[in-house]
Structure 1
Amino acid sequence: MLETFLAAFITLFVVIDPPGIAPVFAVMTSGTDAAYKRKMVFKATLTAAVILLLFAFLGKSLLSALGISMSAFRTAGGFLLFLIAMEMVFEKRTERREKKAEPDRFYDALEEDPDDISVFPLAIPFLSGPGSIATIMLLMSENHGHYLDQALIIGALLATLLSAVVILLLASRIIEFLGHTVANAVTRILGVILAALATQYMFDGIRTAFFAA
Structure 2
Amino acid sequence: MFDYFSWKEILTSTMVLFAVIDIVGSIPIIVSLKKKFGHIESGKATLVAGALMIAFLFVGESILKFIGIDVNSFAIAGAFVIFIIALEMILGIQIQRHGEATSASIVPIAFPLIAGAGTLTTTLSLKAEFHDINIILGIILNTAVVYLVLKSATWIEKRMGDGTLKVIEKVFGIVLLAIAIKLFTANFAQLFQNYVHF
TM > 0.5: yes
Q: Distance in 2 between matches of 1:23 and 1:71?
A: 21
| Highest RCO, 1 vs 2 (Cα 8 Å, sep ≥ 6) | 1
1:70 counterpart letter in structure 2? V
- TM-score by length of structure 1 reads 0.61
**Matches of residues 89-108 of structure 1 in structure 2 within 5 Å?**
89-93=90-94
Tell me the residue number matched to 1:66: 67
Tell me the residue number matched to 2:127: 132
SS at match of 2:69: coil
Tell me the residue number matched to 1:106: none
Question: CA 1:16/1:124 → structure 2, altered by over 3 Å: closer, same or farther?
Answer: farther
Question: Is residue 137 of structure 2 the alignment partner of residue 179 of structure 1?
Answer: no
Q: Distance in 1 between matches of 2:129 and 2:66?
A: 17
Question: Is residue 184 of structure 2 the alignment partner of residue 206 of structure 1?
Answer: no
Tell me the residue number matched to 1:46: 51
Tell me the residue number matched to 2:27: 30
% same residue: 18
Gaps of 5+ in 1: 101-112, 138-152
- TM-score by length of structure 2 reads 0.65
Alpha carbon RMSD of aligned pairs, Å? 3.8
**Aligned pairs, number:** 172
2:174 counterpart letter in structure 1? V
Q: Distance in 2 between matches of 1:196 and 1:67?
A: 29
Higher-Rg member (1/2): 1
Question: Does the CA contact (< 8 Å) of 1:12 and 1:157 recur in 2?
Answer: no
Tell me the residue number matched to 2:142: 164
Question: CA 1:41/1:203 → structure 2, altered by over 3 Å: closer, same or farther?
Answer: farther
Question: CA 1:19/1:90 → structure 2, altered by over 3 Å: closer, same or farther?
Answer: closer
Question: Does the CA contact (< 8 Å) of 1:15 and 1:131 recur in 2?
Answer: no
